[in-house]
């Protein structure tokens, strides 16, 4: 990827949520910065004091196993294993620090896109949270209205149904059976 063809939308799929933090994995960060993953890891190890635990952490074996995106479908190192080393995960600040440690023009240029992607994702999550709060308010209001509407409906139902059929007395002349008969010849 070159910096001219890269956009924030290209970086967004590389951001994962692990341990409740939005992070980008070392292999993805290295490809964005135009270096090999081992070179990035070497620079990180040489400058560990710049990467506290809120900037970077190493994934556990369980986290690696649960993440399908980390599995290699082509190369298998040993049966049952898919990575030789546990990868690092960088938060937004850790990604910026990694660009500073690498100190290459491409890494500095790419760090702008990475930061913008983190910011865009934060804004989307904030907008979603606002929408969810509003939906909860609407739901609560509807539940209150539903109870009131249900009461009104139950009171109106007897008025809307036709009255029960009761036999009414017939009005007018009632003809009873004739007492006289027809004479037969």
Over the stretch 44-76, which tens digit does the pLDDT of each residue have? Answer: 888 888 888 888 888 888 777 666 554 444 444
Pairing of strands 88-90, 21-25: antiparallel
More confident residue, 67 or 132: 132
Say how many C-beta atoms besides its own lie within 10 A of residue 31's C-beta: 16
More confident residue, 77 or 34: 34
Between the alpha carbon of residue 11 and those of residues 14, 57, 130, 155, the distances in Å are 5, 20, 24, 59
Q: Which helix (H) or strand (E) holds 23?
A: strand 21-25
pLDDT for residue 2: 43
Minimal CA–CA distance to 112: which of 8, 4, 10?
Answer: 8
- Domains of the chain by residue range: 8-119
pLDDT for residue 160: 67
Q: Which pTM does this prediction carry?
A: 0.57
**The residue to which tokens 């059976």 are assigned:** 177
């Amino acid at each position: 990827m070159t910096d001219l063809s890269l956009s924030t939308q290209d970086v967004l799929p590389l951001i994962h949520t692990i341990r409740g933090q939005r992070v980008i994995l070392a292999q993805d960060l290295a490809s964005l910065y135009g270096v090999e993953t081992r070179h990035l890891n070497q620079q990180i190890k040489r400058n560990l004091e710049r990467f506290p635990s809120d900037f970077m952490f190493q994934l556990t074996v369980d986290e690696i196993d649960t993440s399908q995106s980390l599995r290699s479908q082509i190369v298998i190192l040993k049966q049952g294993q898919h990575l030789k080393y546990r990868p690092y995960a960088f938060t937004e600040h850790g990604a910026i620090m990694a660009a500073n440690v690498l100190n290459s023009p491409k890494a500095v240029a790419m760090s702008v896109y990475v930061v913008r992607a983190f910011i865009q994702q934060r804004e989307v999550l904030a907008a979603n949270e606002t929408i969810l709060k509003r939906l909860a308010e609407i739901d609560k209001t509807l539940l209150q209205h539903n109870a009131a509407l249900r009461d009104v409906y139950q009171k109106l139902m007897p008025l809307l149904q036709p009255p029960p059929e009761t036999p009414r007395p017939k009005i007018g002349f009632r003809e009873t059976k004739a007492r006289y008969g027809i004479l037969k010849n």
